[in-house]
Every structure is written in structure tokens, then in C-alpha cells.
Amino acid sequence: MSRLSPDQLAFFAREGYLVVPDLFPPAALEPLRAELTALIHREALRLRAEGRLTRLYEEEPFERRLTRLHAEVGDEILKAITGRGGGGHSGRALFELITHRALLQAVESFIGPEIVGSSVYRIRPKIPGQVRGVVPWHQDSGYFAPHCDQSLVLTCWVPLVDATTQTGCLQVLPRTHQQGIFRHHTNGPGGYLFITDGDLPPGQWLDTPVPAGGALFLTNCTPHRSLPHHTDVVRWSLDVRYQSAEVPNNAGQLPEQFDAATPAHEQACYPPEADFVVQSRLHPEKVVRRWEDFDQLRQRYEKLRPPAPQRGWVPVGQD
Ligand SMILES: O=C(O)CCC(=O)C(=O)O
């Protein structure tokens, strides 16, 4: 598959989401699955050497091994993947998937050919019973700076295993993405921002199952959430975001160069992490082509994070 069809784009514009079940060629996810397997194995070896884990669970498949490990050692097994804010891992296979031709061709259909990889991307191994695996209703713009509310920061949600209703696919609230940013509160379940039921616009939410190899596209203003799941499958997914190079970003800037005195509308939509150019016909010299450069940049921001945007959200009952 190359570009998306006019019908798909019209659906996205109207509904605020789009499921594309066959975005990637079948082998495209394998390198990242293998990279994550190796990372988990390394962490399991470390924890066993420290006497905190009885077994490595090597016989378990990608879909289940982390469930077993997590049952013994909890979130400790996830640290190498999630880092401090969610962007701890910046491996080669991750970079190759973020810059995969099939994905960028689809992204270009939404935002044009000058593409910046937005700093906010996450690998989410959603484990049954894991507190942070449950993400309450929010719009991604609830986290971003307000001057980006009118711009499209496209979320591409890419499951690494089949994501079904039973294994905790996302739920979306269609046709509500053109009503601005709803009030969010802090201290939601799992520590996330959230929109209370009373602040949600009327509408009928729906499940968005996506098979491995497919993707779910969302706008930054589409309310969505992720419910608990009770199977023993780890619903591995990657959510990665892209924006047009015209939308404010920090591509080419190091975290030490962040200047709080820069007018707000010139700052990146999400300054704590690194934006980077992934495709450009106007400035091909700016494209980050080597995984090593991506990795270095990512890790630099992981150590020194500029401050997150403040939108004035407060806990329930304090406004
Ligand atoms: O993957 C999930 O369970 C939640 C993802 C999400 O809320 C997001 O990408 O904004």
C-alpha cells in the first residue's frame, strides 16, 4: 500500500480516526519484536543475577513472556523500555519502523512531504493488571502546548501483536475532534491526565481493533482511552507522532539550547523530548538518516529534559 485514498482521508477528517489494517508488509514488525525480545532478555538476566527473578521464561512467546516476568518483578522489568517518561528505548529497529517507507507514505497523505517526527513516541507493552497500562480518556493535545491545538500532530498507533477488544485495543470518541480541547484533570488513573465523564462531549465511543501490520491514525484532538484487559497477552504497541515541518518543533535543537524566554508560539509542541526531521524535499540535509544520530539525540533529551508545557490542569475538585 502507498498513499491513502481520498475516501480514507475523508473518513479521517470526518471521524477523527482511521484504521488501516494492512499498512506494513508482513515482515516489517519483526526487527522491532526481536529488538524488544533481546532487551527483555538482558533485563531478565540482570534481575536473575540480582536474585530477584527465579526464571527467565525463555520458552514463552513475545506475546506472553513479559506477563510472566512482570508477575514476578513488576514494573522493574519495563524500565529499559519506558525510561523516565516513556521514551527510554531508542534502538535501531525502532528508528527503522518510525522511518519505514510504508508509514511515511501514509503520513505524507495527511500532513504533506515535509515531515517532522514528533518527540512524543512510546512503546507500550500493555500487561494484564498493570496500572500504567490503563490510560483514561484524553486528547493528546491535553499534554501539548496550546499554540499547537489548531495544528495536526498525527498519532500513528501501531500494534506489534493483534490488538483486539479482549487484549485492550484503544477506544475512541468519533466526530468530537473539532470541538477544541476539553478540560483535563491531573492525577488520573495511572497518574495520567484525564477528561472526566462529565467533561466528555456526547457521543458513542467505539473499540478500534487493529491487526498486527496495521495502524490506527488519530488527530491530537480525538478523545481516546485504553481500558484494562484480562487475557495473559501483552498488547505490545508503538504510538508515534508526526507533524508538518511548519508546526513549531525543536528539530535540530539540543536540550541545552532550550530557552524558556523564547516566545511560547515559537517553542516546540512538547519541549521535553526531541523532534527530528524524517523526510524533507526542501531540506534533505536536515533529515536524520542514521540510527546512531537519532539514538544520541534521544538519549541526550532523556538526560536533560526541558520543561513540559503547563496548561493549568489541576486535580478534580481543585478548580
Ligand atoms: O496504547 C495505549 O494503551 C494508550 C495510547 C494512548 O493513549 C496514546 O497513544 O495517546
Digit-coded pLDDT (tens) for 274-310: 999 999 999 999 999 999 999 999 889 988 999 999 9
Residue with CA nearest ligand 1 atom 3: 226
pLDDT higher than threshold 60 for residue 105: yes
Digit-coded pLDDT (tens) for 162-221: 999 999 999 999 999 999 999 999 999 999 999 999 999 999 999 999 999 999 999 999
Instruction: Please report the pLDDT score of residue 87 as a whole number.
Output: 59
Ligand 1 neighbourhood includes 126 CB (under 6 angstroms): yes
pLDDT grade for 255, boundaries at 50, 70 and 90: very high
Closest-lying ligand 1 atom to the alpha carbon of residue 140: 10
| 54 CB burial (10 A radius; 0-12, 13-18, 19+) | exposed
Distances in Å between the alpha carbon of 16 and those of 91, 112, 179, 231, 281?
31, 18, 11, 29, 28
pLDDT higher than threshold 50 for residue 159: yes
Closest-lying ligand 1 atom to the alpha carbon of residue 157: 9
pLDDT grade for 85, boundaries at 50, 70 and 90: low
For residues 66, 71, 72, 73, the Cα torsion angle rounded to the nearest 10 degrees is 70
pLDDT grade for 83, boundaries at 50, 70 and 90: low
Cell 484532538 found at: 221
Closest-lying ligand 1 atom to the alpha carbon of residue 133: 3
Instruction: Please report the pLDDT score of residue 32 as a whole number.
Output: 97
Instruction: Please report the pLDDT score of residue 3 as a whole number.
Output: 84
Instruction: Please report the pLDDT score of residue 289 as a whole number.
Output: 97
Residue 280 Cα to ligand 1 midpoint, Å, equals 28
Cell 477488544 found at: 165
Residue with CA nearest ligand 1 atom 8: 239
Cell 508482513 found at: 26
Instruction: Please report the pLDDT score of residue 100 as a whole number.
Output: 97
CATH 2.60.120.620 for domain 6-27+90-309: yes
Q: How many CB atoms lie within 10 A of CB 73?
A: 17
**Mutate which of 165, 170, 173 for ligand 1 pocket (most atoms within 8 A of beta carbon):** 170
Mean pLDDT of 96-118: 96
Ligand 1 neighbourhood includes 155 CB (under 6 angstroms): yes
DSSP string, 90-154: --HHHHHHHT-HHHHHHHHHHH-S-EEE-S--EEEEE-TT-GGG-EEEE-GGGTS-GGGTTS-EE
Ligand 1 neighbourhood includes 135 CB (under 6 angstroms): yes
pLDDT grade for 1, boundaries at 50, 70 and 90: very low
Ligand 1 neighbourhood includes 239 CB (under 6 angstroms): yes
The residue extents of the domains of the chain are: 6-27+90-309
Ligand 1 neighbourhood includes 89 CB (under 6 angstroms): no
Residue 55 Cα to ligand 1 midpoint, Å, equals 30
Cell 538519549 found at: 299
Query: Which of 307, 215, 293 shows the shortest CA–CA distance to 258?
Result: 307
Provide the CB-side half-sphere exposure for 224 (13 A, CA). Answer: 26
Residue with CA nearest ligand 1 atom 9: 239
Digit-coded pLDDT (tens) for 224-238: 999 988 899 999 999
Residue 124 Cα to ligand 1 midpoint, Å, equals 8
Q: How many CB atoms lie within 10 A of CB 244?
A: 19
**Beta-strand (E) ranges in the chain?**
17-20, 115-117, 122-126, 135-138, 153-159, 170-172, 185-186, 206-208, 215-218, 224-226, 235-244, 276-279, 314-315
Residue 170 Cα to ligand 1 midpoint, Å, equals 7
Residues with Cβ < 8 Å from 84, sequence gap 6 or more?
Answer: 302, 305
Residues with Cβ < 8 Å from 189, sequence gap 6 or more?
Answer: 131, 134, 136
pLDDT higher than threshold 70 for residue 86: no
Residue with CA nearest ligand 1 atom 10: 140
Ligand 1 neighbourhood includes 241 CB (under 6 angstroms): no
Query: Which of 207, 147, 209, 151 shows the shortest CA–CA distance to 177?
Result: 151
pLDDT grade for 118, boundaries at 50, 70 and 90: confident
